[in-house]
Structures are given as C-alpha cells and as structure tokens.
Chain A
Amino acid sequence: MTNQPGSGDPARLSVRGIAKRFGSITAIEEVSLDLHRGEVRALCGGNGAGKSTLVKILTGVLPPSEGRLEIDGKPHVFRNPVDAQRAGLTLVAQELSLAPDLSVHDNLWLGHAEAPFARRTARSAALAREALDAVGLEATGLDVKAGGLSLAERQLLEIARGLVRNASVLILDEPTATLSEREIAKVFDAVRRLKAVGRSVIYITHRMGEVYDLCDSVTVMRNGRIVTTQPAAKMPRDRLLELMIGRELTDVYPPSTKPPGTTMLEVSGLTAPGAVEDFSLQLRAGEIVGIVGQIGSGATESIRALAGLVHDARGEVTIDGERLRLGAPSAILKSGIRFVSEDRATEGVFLDMPARTNLVATRFPEVSSAGYLPPARLGRIAGFLARQVGFDPSRLNLAAGRLSGGNQQKLAIGRCSDRSAPGVILMNEPTRGVDMGARAEIYQTLRRLCDEGNAVLLASTDLEEVVGLVDRVVTMFRGRIVSIHERGSFAETVILSEITNAREAA
C-alpha cells in the first residue's frame, strides 16, 4: 500500500544542488531531491557514498558549501541543529544521542526547542507517554535511566523523541541494525504510523527487504552524488543490488595469487561476555579472512578480543602453536599479532605526533638495545615503512592529525608491516573514513602483505568491501558465527540475509 503523493503539492522537503567540500576534498555535490508528505524514502549507498554528510547538512550540523533547501516551499538556512529541529527535521542517529544518566522522560525532551522550563509537567509526561506507546514502548517506564535500556529500546526511544518534537521529516539511520524480527516489526509499525499522519521519513538502510517492505521510493548515492531516485515499485531488486554494491569496482580488489599456507592462528571457543560467544576460526598464512556483521554482531569485538583489548575475554587462542594470553595487548604484540583499530582517533593514531613517530610506535622493543634508542634509528625505520605502504615520505614530519583519513590509515597499517617476521594482522573497519583512491592502495597493500606470508583477519560492516577483497567470509549475528564461506561461493544476498538473520528471497 503506497501513498501516492499528489503532484500539485509543494514538496515537504526540497533539496537543490547541495554540495559540501572540506578544503579540496568534495564530500558530496549536485545533490537534489524532493520528499513529499507521507512519503517514506529509502536512502541507500555504501560507505563513503555521502549519506552521512547529506544527513548532517539536513539536520543543521554542517552548513552546505552550495545549494538550497526548502521546507513546504519556504527556503531555510540552518545555522545549528536547533534551527533544523524548529523547521521540523529530526535525526534518529545510528550513534544514539541519548544521555545514559538521564531518565527516559528527560531524554525524550532533551534539547527540545520548546521544552518547558520545569523539568517535568503533566503535559510533558503525557506527551512522552503517548510517544512511547506509539513506537511500541508501552512497557517502558518514564523514569527508567536510558543507560539501562537495551539497544533496541534505545533505538525506539530515539524515534519517540522525533515524535515528541512533532517532526515533519524524520531521518532514520539504519534503525534496525541490531534488532530482532519482532523489534523490527515495531519499528516498521512506528514508521507506518508516522506516514499515516502525513509525516515524511528518510530511511537509510542497506537491507533490500526493508526498501521494498517499507519504503515508497528509493534514492541511491555513490561517491558523493545521487545515482538515481525512483519509486520502489519501479526498481527491480537486482538492479538495486547492483547499484548498491557496484560490480564494476571489483577490479579495485586484487585477488590472491598464492594458495594459503600453514595455519598461523587458531581460535577455539573465544568468548567475550556480552558480545561474542563461542567464536572459532583457523587462519592460514597468505589469506585474508573477513568477518562481516552489523553493529552488535560481535565482529568488531572478536577482533578486539584477539588483540588483547577485552580484559575478560576467554578462550583458546594459539599462534604458531603457542598459547596466547588474552587481555594483555603487550603480550599479544610479542607473539606477532598486530592490530589496527576501528577507532583511529581515540585508539589508533597519535594525532599530535608526526607521522614518523606513528609509524614506529609498535617497534620500540625490537629496535632498542638495553633501553637505548636514538631518534635517527627510528627515522630510518619510518622511511622504510612509509615506502612499504605507499605513504609519501616527504610528509613524515607532519602531525598525523593533519593528514587525511586514508593517510592516517596507511600509518596504522604501516605499523604492521615487517618483512622479517610475518604475523597476523587484525583490522577493524579497515577503510572507515577513507576515500576511494586510498582504499584501493590499502587493499593492494593488504594483499601484498599476505603474499609475503602474513595473514589478515578483518572485520567490516561494509559488505561490498568484504565480498570484493577477502578469500573467506565469516558471517556473524548476535555474537555468534552464522557460517563461513569460501571464495567462489559468495552470494551477496545470502551473506546479507545471514548477517541480518532474515529469510529473504534471493
């Protein structure tokens, strides 16, 4: 049942020629779309397509470099998120914007432009209750602390906040990533209710089923531009898949040239309480294995556990036959395992330090003799490593914080390359925040490292990347491995359905 918007209405939201540039890097350009009352629009596209930049502009977090925005025919300029909120645009973010120490009621009214001065009134409580009921949180009390809710409940809470704000356009960013079928149904109900009262929804997702079950139309973005906008009924499934995954880019992924060698890493029964359960895997020299799953699937956490960063992780992990002690990063590093974090800024890169220092940060034990470590020695090593990963040596003295995401990631990977002693490289989200060109270089570096005898185990939420790059795919859902696929038997739709635990027709 689709709601055909009348052709005479001014669009609820009209975007014309929006572009955003950061210095000489263009994030998005020539973005135009019209959203009508009561329309649910799917917004699809891979990592780096520009969706989040567009959303930030729509919600007033970033100003556009070019372009116009109109709501119900009236032009608007958003100077901050409050302006966007007042204009009726609200975001239900993937990284939730709830204050964990505040109650449900307070979170619903947090930052509301027209919130009452008193913390709570009869009216505010009533509206809060109404919104909660509308999204299916009838059982949740107004005074429960948000930090104690499950991920799914928090997701619904965020949607409820949009209702409290009387939003005319809600932007939902992958709201069902971590939800069960029943909870997804609740979210769908909530969205349909919004539509029934004339609100518009932009629904960001990469799940095919949702596009067709829920949405009226779909917009696909790629490389910062809109590729197409069409009614869902007129878009065949495989066409959409092709647009989202982009077959022609697979020549960016270098294939493996050698058969895998001996087993380097053996994982048995790895468990991280609350995140991963009974994870078992064997990793052989020369191969790239990709763990794919959504947020909360345990993919990222398994990698972190293997890197020694989860202090209560348990399980049997042996590398080259030797048992590994989990929970201590320094011990892990000694046994030849290297780790590239998904959170570069907090955990991977030393932003104040020059690139040179970043490259050699893990090297100190090997290159110092009895504690003595002259800077010149480090400089030479840095130069060598920079060339290994395609990092411009003339930029070695720049502070890492000033480099692009791609270059920062090269530094993180450069730390891991060491021709003398092949080891296991663990990576989380290897190309998050990295532009296409640098990605290609990183993929080539990874493949070369494997050809030299290393083994790479990476976790990623980017389906396209995993499918294109790796030799074996491990799918995870809710902390457990669903299955392991060998190259040659990757079917994107099968993998997609496994990580979302949905039964979808291919």
Chain B
Amino acid sequence: MWIQLLLIAAIIALGIFFVRRPGSDSHLAMRRIVFGFFVVVAILAVLFPHAITWLAQLIGVGRGTDLLLYIVSMMFLVFVYTQFHRNAQMQQKITGLARTIALLEAERSAAAAPGDEAEKPVSPSDEG
C-alpha cells in the first residue's frame, strides 16, 4: 500500500531530522516549509472535501478523514521535535544566565569580605 510507504518514509525523514545537527537557519526554513504545506493542504481540504477522499483512495487509504489523521500525526511529531529543540535552546540561555549570576555573586562577596577565606577555620568545631 502506498500509504505505508509514505508514512514510513515520513517517519524516517523525521528521525533523520531529529538526530541531525541543527544548522538553525535551514532547520527553521524546513519547519516553515512543512507547516506552510500543512496550511495549504488544510485549506484545500476544507474547499474540496471530496478531493481528500480521492487522494486517500489513490494512495490506498479508505477515507479522507483517515488520511487527515495520518498527516496530523506526522505534524504532531514535527511539533514535538520543534518544542524539544526550542526547550533545549531556552535551557542553554537560562544556564548562561544562572552561571553569570553565580560567578558575579562570588566576585561580589569576595570583594565585600576581603581576606575572609584566610580567616575561616580549617577544621571547624562540630556543628550542632
């Protein structure tokens, strides 16, 4: 059946996309192309409901709604990946911020209490 070939191909393509290094510009462009395609198909499906059924039967899917479900599933995978990637980028930024705060704070307290480290007892008495 055509639909099985198409779905497997789409899943493999997405899998490769997942693992590939994000050269962010081309990645973004690809995602936009995929979403643009999705929007066009959605509008066409609304305008010509029978066209979807015709297309579905052409590639071996019973009903147009089934084909839509498959497409939506693929889009969901794209969405999951996009969010994953975006979260990772956000995390990098937060890490950078938090690191800067930690380093600045250490600098500040060192400047506020010079020689404090030397005064610290090496073997403090047992804490309560």
- A and B found bound together: no
Chain A interface residues toward B at CB < 8 A: none
Chain B interface residues toward A at CB < 8 A: none
